[in-house]
Chains A and B, each alone.
Chain A
Amino acid sequence: MEEPKKEEIVTYPKYAPGTHVRTSDIREKKITYTWWEPEIQYAWSVGPAMSKFLQGLKEGKILGVHCHKCKRLIVPPRSFCEYCYGPTEDWVELKDTGTINTYSISYLDPNANRIEEPILIGVISIDGAYPEPMGFMHYFGEMSKDEIKIGMRVKAVWKPENEREGAITDIKYFKPLRGGEI
């Protein structure tokens, strides 16, 4: 058999400086480039329990489901209890009021742009769900960043019925429950 040829030793520059591209080079079209916006669409199956929850939101209701064994009223609802892995049962409609469990004052919008007026966001313990805290995350409105505090009583502000689409954003935000309001 013929011996394989010894490959020539490859030499290459130790340091290649590269070429800097500035944003202005692209804006002023000094250099050519390829720009593409791929279409990336997804459909994520939310499952039977979350489907029912989203349908409830469309009807202006917050739905929860029980695990009697673990003594829980779960919201957002699940098909099974994540403590005992048993199936959940007995759906109930909960009030659209709750208590601020935790919150954040964000000076960044969802696209990470800096903003002047902060977004108030946090977790609400929904009234009637147990053990506390049990609830979900949402925006807060009709309150200032100085007013917001943990333990504050809040109530959902819903979109008009014809604008609801079965999404968590069917609730616009939670507003403070001020003295005497139910």
Chain B
Amino acid sequence: MTFIEKQTDPMAPTHWRGDMQADYLYPNGVAGDKFFKYIKNNDGFLATPCKKCNKVLFPPRLYCEDCFSEIPEEDWIQVPASGTIRLFTIARINAHGKRMKEPKVMALIDIDQTDGALLGVINSKDLEKDHTGLRVRAIFRPMDQREGTLKDIINWEIIS
């Protein structure tokens, strides 16, 4: 089959553009709520040890994901906001797909005294350096600017 009509004017409206509204609200849950409220008022984190598995779950959970046993409220512990870089990457493009003026060092940080990890931005300008294994500490926003989200951590500072 051949089409008789051919598009010759590139300015003719050949595409219909639109956007979809799909905003969502995700409550952090009972354990997540406690965790973020703690960040809002303290320069540290909460973690949940599972005594059966001998594991410290981080970020905190109500149930151990391995053995499904409930973690009682009195078992919750406070841990320092520091850790060791397990792996890292250099981000050059932001969340909107635009090239950033200054690339960022993003890392997965094993949090001290726990078996969990957090993603964070490392306060480092050295893009050539191997960051794995470096010790880091979280830099929090001033108390009056905190909102109870992970954005309350500005970035992570290398301490060794």
Binding site for B on A (CB under 8 A): 8, 10-13, 19, 21, 26, 31-49, 51-52, 54-55, 58, 79-80, 85-89, 166
Pairs A–B under 8 Å by Cβ, sample size 20:
A10-B67, A31-B33, A32-B28, A34-B25, A34-B28, A35-B25, A36-B26, A41-B18, A41-B19, A42-B17, A44-B17, A46-B13, A49-B5, A51-B14, A52-B12, A55-B13, A85-B1, A87-B1, A89-B4, A166-B13
Q: Give me 16 other A-B pairs in contact (C-beta within 8 A), A10-B68, A44-B18 excluded.
A: A12-B63, A19-B30, A32-B149, A35-B26, A36-B26, A42-B18, A43-B16, A48-B6, A51-B7, A51-B13, A55-B12, A79-B5, A80-B1, A87-B3, A89-B4, A166-B13
Chain A: which residue is nearest B66 at the CB level?
A10
Binding site for A on B (CB under 8 A): 1-7, 12-30, 32-33, 36-37, 63, 67-68, 70, 96, 148-149
Chain A: which residue is nearest B20 at the CB level?
A40
B24 near A36 with CB under 8 A, answer: yes
B20 near A42 with CB under 8 A, answer: yes
Other-chain residue from B1, B16, B32 in contact with A44 (beta carbon distance below 8 A)? B16
A39 near B37 with CB under 8 A, answer: no
Chain B: which residue is nearest A29 at the CB level?
B148
- Chain A residues lying within 8 Å of B3, measured Cβ to Cβ, are 48, 79-80, 87
> Once the chains are docked, how many angstroms separate the CA of A88 from the CA of B149?
59
